[in-house]
Amino acid sequence: DLILMDSQMPEIDGFEATKVIREWETAGSRPAIPIIALTAHATPGDREQCLAAGMSDYIAKPFSMERLQAVLTAWLQPAPTPSTVDQPAPQPTMTLVPATPEPAVEAPLIVDVKAWKSITSLQKPGKEDMLAKILTLYLADSQQLVDTLHHGMDAGDATAVNQAAHSLKSRSAVLGALSLATLCQQFETLSRQGQLNEAEPLLNQLDAAFEHASQIFEAELNKRRAA
């Protein structure tokens, strides 16, 4: 479900290992598994180096259990509870539109805040606000993924677009940013097919959906900080 990747390993470091994994995924049109970097080198450019190598997120050592839990929660879907294991699978809340949409039609911007319940349900009394932590991580890192996607489109780099879209899709879906996650899925599909020209008209929609979601997340974060 997820890889915790140490950046410093014998024979092959975490950056090279991540590159090999991403190339294997791309060659076989496989979905990208989240790769979380673990590094003791907390320098200003270290996060950027990890993301540029294809890693999905970053944790600097030493780290707290709260920090680890926040990152894992952001990237992993919660396991079913015993009361729901035998129940019929619910209908998905996000319906992906075709890979090549009609340019004139734009879906409404949607952020389903009910998705936050899966995060707040993990909150322990007296501990750091889990949702606030994840919102903070999202707002700190996701703009770089949007920028990477734009740069990949400009350079015709389908691999960079695919990896950025996948990472942004996963963390956006966890926080209920359904419109943004849907657009990321389209970029992921089109880049995997090598059809970046078809994805070009979606860039403005992606930027608008990201701005919309970020404003909602910032408002919630400010409300929680003021409480």
pLDDT of 78? 54
Greater confidence (69 vs 11) lies with 69
Average pLDDT, the chain: 79
- The CATH code of the domain that includes 35 is 3.40.50.2300
Rounded-to-10 torsion of CA 97, 99, 103, 105: 0
191 and 103 belong to one structural domain: yes
Q: Is 133 left (phi over 0), alpha (psi -120 to 50) or beta?
A: alpha
Structural domain includes residue 69: no
φ/ψ of 58, rounded to 5, equals -150, 135
pLDDT of 57? 79
- The CATH code of the domain that includes 132 is 1.20.120.160
DSSP 167-216: HHHHHHHHTT-HHHHHHHHHHHHHHHTT-HHHHGGGHHHHHHHHHHHHHH
Structural domain includes residue 144: yes
Greater confidence (198 vs 100) lies with 198
Show which of 39, 63, 87 is a domain's final residue.
Answer: 63
Greater confidence (34 vs 89) lies with 34
CA-based Rg of the chain, rounded to a whole angstrom? Answer: 18
45 and 146 belong to one structural domain: no
Confidence at 85, pLDDT banded by 50, 70, 90: very low
pLDDT of 149? 95
108 and 193 belong to one structural domain: yes
Structural domain includes residue 85: no
Show which of 47, 63, 79 is a domain's final residue.
Answer: 63
Confidence at 42, pLDDT banded by 50, 70, 90: low
pLDDT of 169? 87
